[in-house]
Amino acid sequence: MPHTSPAVEVPSGSPRTQSTDRGWHKQWNIPNQITLARLVLALACLALIDLGWWLSACGTFLVAASTDFIDGYIARKYGLVTVLGRILDPLVDKIVVGGAFTFLAAVPGSGVHPWIAVIVIGRELFITSLRGMLEASGQDFSAAWSGKVKMFVQCGAVICVLLALANQDTQSVGGPDWQNLLDWSRVGLLWGTVATTLYSGYVYVERAAKMFRGGSGS
């Protein structure tokens, strides 16, 4: 009969356990905690949109979107970039923006057509797949400036749509002249969203192609 070694229980205070604990706690640092809080805010924003509380949804979305810059800044400044953060941060961004466009596409008079939501979400899913493939092979496929501009325009479009809906329903933002300005701004930002989303997708695809060919992918 083959000899079976008895299971060895590792004491909780052993160096191996302490190393694992330190690694786990390092993942749940302040930037990642902010990212998790942003996820909660994003879900709250979607619930508020579903209820038709446009101004509350706008304020919640604004806080959720702005914290994206905060956690990224802290992570880079203090060297707190983690594997968990690189996965969680873009995922939450997709829920914040993609979720907002999806819910707004179901609101009559929002100006957000379903095909706009499909472009926004489809681009994110495709680039996420590319990122996963490249980073699994050890290559750096971090965010580019075109992606940041795209995110900024998308957030501006969501905020403008929510303000237009609020004013349209209750005149709580301003009068008819303000509504006219909001309507034109909404149209411009939604088309800007389509343009920047498609352009940034092209930039990332071109960059990925260079990496697949063995280029620098700069």
pLDDT above 50 for 161? yes
pLDDT above 50 for 14? no
pTM here is 0.78
Structure-token pair, residue 142:
């971090």
* pLDDT confidence of residue 170: 67
Read off the pLDDT of residues 111-156 as tens digits, 9 standing for 90 and up. 999 999 999 999 988 888 887 787 777 776 666 788 889 989 999 9
pLDDT above 70 for 218? no
What is the share, in percent, of the chain residues with pLDDT greater than 70?
Answer: 73
Q: Is the dihedral of CA 162, 167, 173, 175 positive or negative?
A: positive
Domain boundary assignment for the chain: 21-212
Read off the pLDDT of residues 19-44 as tens digits, 9 standing for 90 and up. 444 455 566 677 778 888 889 999 99
Architecture of domain 21-212: Up-down Bundle (1.20)
Structure-token pair, residue 88:
């969680």
Read off the pLDDT of residues 55-101 as tens digits, 9 standing for 90 and up. 999 999 999 988 877 776 676 676 666 666 667 777 888 899 999 99
